[in-house]
Amino acid sequence: MIPPASPSCPVEAASALPGDPDGLQRLWTPHRMAYIDSHRETAPAAPECPFCAAPAKSDADGLIVTRGETAYVLLNLFPYNAGHLLVCPYRHVADYTDLTEAEVLEVAELTRRAMRVLRHVKGPDGFNLGMNQGAAAGAGVAAHLHQHVVPRWSGDANFFPIVGQTKAVAELLADTRAALAEAWDEEPHA
Active site residues: 146
Q: For 99-139, give the DSSP string.
A: S-HHHHHHHHHHHHHHHHHHHHHH--SEEEEE---SGGGT-
Q: Give counts: helices (H), strands (E), the chain.
A: 6, 5
Residue type, 22: D
| Cα 67 to Cα 55: distance, rounded to the nearest angstrom | 8
Of 96, 98, 120, which Cα lies nearest the Cα of 108?
Answer: 96
| Cα 117 to Cα 183: distance, rounded to the nearest angstrom | 6
